[in-house]
Amino acid sequence: MGRIKAEYIWIDGHKPTAKLRSKTKIIDGPVKTVNDLPIWGFDGSSTMQAEGSDSDCELMPVYFTPDPIRGGDNLLVMCEVNNADGTPHVSNTRAQLRKVAEKYKDEESWFGIEQEYTFFQGRNPLGWPEGGYPAPQGPFYCGVGADEVYGREIVEEHMEACMKAGLMLSGINAEVMPGQWEFQVGPLGPLDVADELWLARWLLYRIGEDYGVNATLHPKPVKGDWNGAGAHTNFSTKSMREDGGIKVIIAACEKLQKAHKRHMGVYGAHNEERLTGLHETCSIHEFRYAVSDRGASIRIPMATDKAGKGYLEDRRPSANMDPYQVCTAIVATVCGNSDSVVEDETEMVSETVS
Ligand code: ADP
Ligand code: MN
Ligand code: MN
Ligand code: MN
């Protein structure tokens, strides 16, 4: 096979919210396993990952999919960032999740993440009148019609691209605020869900380029009486999914309650603007879990309560969260105990890298 384009994608060192970066490497195909993809490098001084005097960072391919935009045998390649000596860079939050996922693999954790986002064209959310506001919220959630939804052609193209890449999307919907949408990834294991979410975000931004529209993950893109954007994180372990699992789910909620502050440290920057207690959220200063309650920190879905087994929905993570950090925190808290959590998260950056 001939030469192919491999888009190497990584997460930078921008604070408080990390950004995606990518560049293309032309390589000889075919690529059968991740080991066929060469290690590469980049200028870390341009991505807030190094000083100019010692600027080389390493890109280590860890996951790849077909590239649905370029087509053919071309690839998207998710990478971890390493220091020049091959050790994980401080911004490399995936390395931590790798360890925690391996440690608790017998629990068979599954995640389903609901990624909300808002389209912007120039300074306005897509479809909003220049410098003004649309009608109040109400008709837009799961709406249909040119006066209610904006950007569906981009959403459809993105969904198609994710499916062509083989990402495990579970659905999409228009959100409460006009111009705001959601896609869901999962259920998948911790590393897979996080890798796929980052790739799905990259595809969203990339496809938006073709329309002159950008997607923001800011948790409160418009101040006032407009819904914010979250990344509800649905979670289960094997024992939660088995008969009597509801007991395990309640025990998990109790552990998450004790760890509330620690989790909020990695659930996304500016999340306090969104978690106000209004607009289907619980205040950032409180923690409540309840069946079916969209004003709780953690919702136990009605079907889970009825069946006595299933999963929980952590409603706290914001749209701009780093799924490597959120999955690390949840697995460490729920599957570990108070001593092991400290150990599991020693290298966890307390400043949000998302
Ligand atoms: P909501 O009703 O909150 O809008 P969604 O349907 O948008 O929920 O998203 C629910 C997510 O939970 C989906 O990604 C789905 O795949 C995932 N999910 C379903 N069952 C489980 C489970 N047992 N463990 C973890 N995630 C799950
Ligand atoms: Mn949803
Ligand atoms: Mn939603
Ligand atoms: Mn939800």
Task: Find the CATH number of the domain harbouring 86.
Answer: 3.10.20.70
Q: Which ligand is nearest to the CA of 174?
A: 3
Burial of residue 268, with CB atoms counted within 10 A of its CB: 0-12 exposed, 13-18 middle, 19 or more buried? buried
pTM attached to this predicted model: 0.95
* Pairing state between β 110-121 and 233-236: antiparallel
- Helices and strands (DSSP H and E) totals, the chain: 9, 14
> Average pLDDT over the chain, rounded to whole?
93
Q: Which range of residues forms the domain containing residue 299?
A: 101-345
- pLDDT value of residue 139: 86
Shared domain check, 105 and 87:
no
Residue nearest to atom 8 of ligand 1 (CA): 114
Least confident among 221-235, 278-292, 337-351: 337-351
Q: Classify the C-alpha dihedral 216-217-222-223 as positive or negative.
A: negative
Pair (64, 115) in one structural domain: no
pLDDT at position 342 is: 64
> 85 with 113, same domain?
no
Q: How confident is the model at residue 192 (pLDDT cuts 50, 70, 90)?
A: very high
**What's the pLDDT score for residue 51?**
76
Q: Spell 47-60 as b/e; 16+ CB within 10 A means b.
A: bebbeeeebebbbb
Same domain, 122 and 215: yes
Q: Which atom of ligand 1 is nearest to the CA of 173?
A: 7
Q: Is residue 354 part of a domain?
A: no
Same structural domain, 55 and 133: no
pLDDT of residue 354: 34
Protein residues with CB under 6 Å of any ligand 1 atom = 110-112, 114, 170, 184, 186-187, 232, 234-236, 241, 310-311, 313
Neighbours of ion ligand 2 (CB under 5 A): 114
CB 66 within 8 A of CB 166: yes
pLDDT of 350 > 60? The answer is no
* Chain position carrying tokens 């690839």: 75
Whether 350 maps to a domain, the answer reads no
Residue closest by Cα to atom 26 of ligand 1? 112
Tens digits of per-residue pLDDT, 219-228?
Answer: 999 999 999 9
Instruction: Specify the ligand 1 atom closest to the Cα of 240.
Output: 23
Residue whose CA is closest, atom 2 of ligand 1? 301
Tens-place pLDDT, residues 77-99: 999 999 999 999 999 999 999 99
Residue 169 Cα to ligand 4 midpoint, Å, equals 15
pLDDT for res 218:
97
DSSP string, 223-261: -SSS---B--EEEE-HHHHSTTHHHHHHHHHHHHHHTHH
- The yes-or-no verdict on residue 257 having pLDDT over 80 is yes
- Residue 270: is its pLDDT beyond 70? yes
- What would the pLDDT profile of 199-256 be if each residue is shown by its tens digit? 999 999 999 999 999 999 999 999 999 999 999 999 999 999 999 999 999 999 999 9
Tokens in use for 166? 């083989």
What pLDDT does residue 184 have?
A: 98
194 and 234 share one domain: yes
315 alpha carbon, closest ligand: 4
Retrieve residue 207's tokens: 């496809």
Q: Which ligand is nearest to the CA of 176?
A: 3
**Residue 127 neighbours by CB under 8 Å, 6+ apart:** 119, 134, 149, 150, 151, 178, 179
- The pLDDT > 70 percentage for the chain reads 95
If you measure from the C-alpha of residue 172 to the centroid of ligand 2, how many angstroms do you get, rounded to a whole number? 8
Closest CA to 73 of 30, 24, 22: 30
Residue 221 sits in a domain of what CATH number? 3.30.590.10
Asked if residue 241 lies in contact with residue 310, where contact means CB atoms within 8 angstroms, the answer is yes
Give the tens place of pLDDT for each residue, 128-156: 998 888 888 888 999 999 989 999 999 99
Q: Cis ω on the peptide bond leading into residue 219 (within 30° of 0)?
A: no
Closest protein CA for atom 13 of ligand 1? 112
Q: What's the structural domain count of the chain?
A: 2
pLDDT of 116-129, one tens digit each?
A: 999 999 989 999 99
Q: How far is the CA of 232 from the centre of ligand 4 (A)?
A: 5
In terms of domains, do 83 and 110 share one?
Answer: no
Does 82 share its domain with 200?
Answer: no
Mean pLDDT of 59-83: 97
Shared-domain flag, residues 37 and 178: no
Concatenate the DSSP letters of all residues of 156-176 into one string: HHHHHHHHHTT--EEEEEE-S
| 173 and 65 fall within a common domain | no
Instruction: Of 189, 209, 222, give the one whose Cα is nearest residue 324.
Output: 189
Residue 180 Cα, ligand 1 centroid: separation in angstroms? 19
Specify the residue with its C-alpha closest to ligand 1, atom 12: 112
Provide, rounded to the nearest whole percent, the portion of the chain with pLDDT above 90.
Answer: 84
Cβ–Cβ < 8 Å for 245, 239: yes
Residue nearest to atom 1 of ligand 1 (CA): 114
Residue at 338 is within a domain: yes
> How confident is the model at residue 345, as a pLDDT?
65
Q: What is the chain's length?
A: 354
